Amino acid sequence: MSAAALAALGKWSAALRRRPRLATGWLVAVGGTRFKANVAEALASIREMGGRSVLALIGIAVGIAAVIAMVSTGEIVKEETLRQFRALGTDVLTLRRRFTDEGYTIAPADAAMLPAAVPSIAAVAPWTAETGAVRHRGRDVAVRGAMFGVTERFAALHRLTVAEGRFISDLDRGMSFCVIGHRVAQNIRADGTQQAIGEHVRFRDRLFTVVGVLGPGVGSVQSAPVDDAVLIPLSTARRLGREIDMAIMRLTAGADPFAAVGEVLAYFEQVSPGLDLDVTSARQLIEQMRRQAQMFTLLFTAVGSISLIVGGVGVMNVMLMSIAERRTEVGLRRAIGARRRDIMAQFLTESAVLCLFGGIAGIVLGTVAAWAISQYAGWSFFVSAIAAALGVGVSTAVGVFFGFYPARHAARLDPIVALQA
Amino acid sequence: MLRLQNIRKSYRLGPVTVDVLRGLSLEVVAGDLVSIMGPSGCGKSTLLNILGLLDRPTAGTYSLKGREVVSLDDDAISDLRNAHIGFVFQSFHLLPRMTAVENAGLPLVYRGCTDAEIRERALAALDQVGMADRAGHRPKELSGGQQQRVALARALVGEPALILADEPTGALDPETGREVMDIFDALSGNGIGVVIVTHRTSIAERCRRRLRIDAGLLHGEPVDERQGAPPP
């Protein structure tokens, strides 16, 4: 939600607080004079309800927020999956050392020999990663800082681009050089440093000289955000005590990824028995991501439906109170010729408009939640138009559904009794 | 214009059946100004509710503008109320959120008129009751007499055949009450049938026909005092 949108929302609500006689022509066009009158009545009556309606709307807002967050997250994951496919390709295997067995490590030579030993593997890039603060002149320059120890091939296999300088070379063996992620470079420049290349960044207690800056990255490499990372030669990382704990492999054209997983495992069993490895294909990786998203979906569906029910009952209660306070009004309207369905329409409109306000609050809230989740999961965020449309639709539907009983109650009041109240 | 014949109305109160109206007949013609008096609980309000199509008689016939109404469904009855009947209440029943002109125009909303038309006709109605200069005021900014005038404007905005008033001066001081009665007088002069339920003799005396409910039946002056002739 951009600042401009928030400003527009503020202006709108201020306009509502004044007498809403502005630009209602379209309402007449949509539903005739009566519909326009109903909407104007609804706004006036909701203003009169004040705090009471706000309380009822909290439930609706939370419910809609959950729906929005759910759909947005789903959309974002779908987009992210496609992006990962495009970025990494489907012909990639990843390998991860299980952390249970500290004693066994992947020997660099074994990793290097993999393409020669397993025909379905075309290229391999072993690497290691460690999270921690990345600092420049005492300032933190990465939100979720990490250090990757990588080889020259890493860039090609992860399809990373170099914006400035160069990537890590196999000739940098043991050197304290580094290539920094896009965001790290931005943060370094934020204090006025013109040129990131040549600067020194600190990870843990070591200083590294920047030799290159990556272009805006693919987002994350096995859930570590490459934009926030410092990439150093794998050999340097090993000298600092890190072991190879991951590798990315590209399959030869036409190779079956599932068969290749077995072959890679068999190779390491042979060269390094006892080593516990986890090998997954890109498809499996994406499947994992989908499952993660499904978990969010399930959670939000539960929270959303409970909140919408609670909120809806709250709205029903508010509407019943509002109708009880306006019995004579109902009686009068009936006396001057309103049909039952006119009364019904009036209160259904009121309830729907009430819920729509909750829905709008929910859309804002849900969008913020989706943004937070994307930040947490390292997905790139966008506002889903489908989600916003759904929020408007669902909140209106909740209003109509839970407004039905109170509206029918009002429509069935005996005008004589109502006028005596 | 309006003919009630043999109207009966009874309520069940537990095991007892109370007969409020017992075969009452009444004719009202265009331009009539009728008062109905009687002690409380005699059935004045019940009669007014039946006349106003808010209640149905237990037995008897009611024809309004030549149409038999007792057997009509709720929608048709609502439409008839909207088209032919204006109500004036003791406590005005103006909607507090709305201005005088919005209150006066309310019946036309249910007729599907356009905004401009509603406003124009409501202003004309307010003008008729001498309230055109208060069109933008809300009820709480108006005196009791002024509020009742707005209510009168609302009753006549739809050009009804019949205006029914239930103690229209009950909440007003005598002077203001007289002014309101002047308006009723003028309306009946314009050909609208006016029926006023009251317990004030001073009000009844201003009406051309004075009726009294007693034991569920109407008694009063002979029909030939009326100005117009009954419909065929």
Q: What is the pLDDT of residue A221?
A: 56
Q: What is the rounded distance in angstroms from the CA atom of residue B164 to the CA atom of residue A343? A: 23
Closest residue on chain A to B114 (Cα): A33
Interchain CB distance below 8 Å, B82 and A328: no
Q: What is the rounded distance in angstroms from the CA atom of residue B94 to the CA atom of residue B150? A: 8
**Using alpha carbons only, what angle is made at residue A236 by residues A230 and A242, rounded to the nearest 5 degrees?**
85
3-state secondary structure of A366: helix
Residue with tokens 């170099």, as numbered in its chain: A162
Q: How many beta-carbon contacts under 8 Å exist across A and B?
A: 71
B144 burial via Cβ count (<10 Å: 0-12, 13-18, 19+)? middle
Length of chain A: 421
When pLDDT is cut at 50, 70 and 90, the band that residue A288 belongs to is: confident
B52 contacts in A (CB within 8 Å)?
Answer: 335
Q: What is the pLDDT of residue A136?
A: 92
Q: What is the pLDDT of residue B199?
A: 87
A40 contacts in B (CB within 8 Å)?
Answer: none
Asked if pLDDT for residue B226 goes beyond 50, the answer is no
Asked if pLDDT for residue A22 goes beyond 70, the answer is no
Reported as a single tens digit per residue, the pLDDT across B96-105 is: 989 999 999 9
- A283 Rama class: left (phi>0) / alpha (psi -120 to 50) / beta: alpha
Which of the pair, B48 or B222, is modelled with greater confidence? Answer: B48
CB of B118 less than 8 A from some CB of A: yes
Residue range A137-151: mean pLDDT, rounded? 89
Token representation of residue A394 = 């669902």
Q: What is the pLDDT of residue B177?
A: 92
CB of B222 less than 8 A from some CB of A: no
Gap from A337 CA to chain B (nearest CA, Å): 4
Q: At what angle do helices A25-49 and A282-325 cross, to 10 degrees?
A: 70
Closest residue on chain A to B99 (Cα): A19
When pLDDT is cut at 50, 70 and 90, the band that residue A293 belongs to is: confident
Interchain CB distance below 8 Å, B110 and A339: yes
Interchain CB distance below 8 Å, B87 and A338: no
Q: What is the mean pLDDT of chain B?
A: 90
Q: What is the rounded distance in angstroms from the CA atom of residue A234 to the CA atom of residue A228? A: 18
Interchain CB distance below 8 Å, A32 and B112: yes
Q: What is the mean pLDDT of chain A?
A: 84
Among A80-84, A172-176, A401-405, the range scoring the smallest mean pLDDT is A80-84
Quickly list H helices, A50-206.
Answer: 51-88, 108-117, 153-157, 182-189
Q: What is the pLDDT of residue A237?
A: 93
Q: What is the rounded distance in angstroms from the CA atom of residue A412 to the CA atom of residue A137? A: 75
CB of B157 less than 8 A from some CB of A: no
Asked if pLDDT for residue A327 goes beyond 90, the answer is yes
Q: What is the rounded distance in angstroms from the CA atom of residue A317 to the CA atom of residue A322? A: 9
Strands of B67-68's sheet, edge to edge?
A: B16-28, B2-13, B59-64, B67-68
Among A99-113, A218-232, B133-147, B218-232, the range scoring the smallest mean pLDDT is B218-232
Asked if pLDDT for residue A365 goes beyond 50, the answer is yes
- The torsion defined by the Cα of A194, A200, A202 and A207, in degrees rounded to 10, comes to 180
Share of chain A above pLDDT 90, in %: 37
Reported as a single tens digit per residue, the pLDDT across A106-139 is: 888 888 899 999 999 999 999 998 888 999 998 8
Q: Name residue A185's amino acid.
A: A
Please give the C-alpha separations between residue B149 and each of A105, A420, B180, B198, B208, in angstroms, as whole numbers: 96, 21, 7, 18, 21
Among A84-98, A167-181, B61-75, B167-181, the range scoring the smallest mean pLDDT is A84-98
Residue range B199-207: mean pLDDT, rounded? 89
Residue range A72-79: mean pLDDT, rounded? 80
Q: What is the pLDDT of residue B145?
A: 94
Q: What is the pLDDT of residue A48?
A: 80
pTM as predicted: 0.69
Residues in contact with A189: Cβ distance below 8 Å, sequence separation at least 6, in sequence order: A196
A336 contacts in B (CB within 8 Å)?
Answer: 81-82, 86-87, 106-107, 110, 154, 158
Asked if pLDDT for residue A89 goes beyond 90, the answer is no
Residue range B67-94: mean pLDDT, rounded? 94
Interchain CB distance below 8 Å, A336 and B87: yes
Interchain CB distance below 8 Å, B115 and A335: no
Q: What is the pLDDT of residue A284?
A: 75
Residue range A393-411: mean pLDDT, rounded? 94
- Among A28, A333, A415, select the one facing B115 at the smallest CB separation: A28
Interchain CB distance below 8 Å, A337 and B112: no
Reported as a single tens digit per residue, the pLDDT across A173-197 is: 889 999 999 889 999 998 888 888 9
The residues in B 83-112 lying below 8 A from A, measured between CB atoms, are 83, 86-87, 89, 93, 95, 97, 106-107, 109-112
CB of B40 less than 8 A from some CB of A: no
Asked if pLDDT for residue A10 goes beyond 60, the answer is no
Interchain CB distance below 8 Å, B109 and A34: yes
When pLDDT is cut at 50, 70 and 90, the band that residue A313 belongs to is: very high
Gap from B178 CA to chain A (nearest CA, Å): 25
Best to test chain B binding among A26, A33, A34 (most B CBs inside 10 Å): A33
- Among B49, B75, B109, select the one facing A37 at the smallest CB separation: B109
Among A349-353, A377-381, B148-152, the range scoring the smallest mean pLDDT is A377-381
Reported as a single tens digit per residue, the pLDDT across A227-247 is: 889 999 999 999 988 888 889
Q: What is the rounded distance in angstroms from the CA atom of residue B60 to the CA atom of residue B57? A: 7
CB of B82 less than 8 A from some CB of A: yes
Asked if pLDDT for residue B198 goes beyond 60, the answer is yes
Among A228-242, A270-284, A319-333, A391-405, the range scoring the smallest mean pLDDT is A270-284
Q: What is the pLDDT of residue B230?
A: 43
What ipTM is given for this predicted complex? 0.92
A41 contacts in B (CB within 8 Å)?
Answer: 97
Closest residue on chain B to A329 (Cα): B95
CB of B53 less than 8 A from some CB of A: no
Q: What is the pLDDT of residue B194?
A: 96
Residue range A321-334: mean pLDDT, rounded? 94
Q: Which residues of A touch B (CB under 8 A)?
A: 28, 32-34, 36-37, 41, 44-45, 48, 328-329, 331-342, 415-416, 419
Among A79-88, A283-292, A301-310, the range scoring the smallest mean pLDDT is A79-88
Q: What is the pLDDT of residue A23?
A: 52
Residue range A203-213: mean pLDDT, rounded? 93
Asked if pLDDT for residue A383 goes beyond 70, the answer is yes
Closest residue on chain B to A38 (Cα): B109
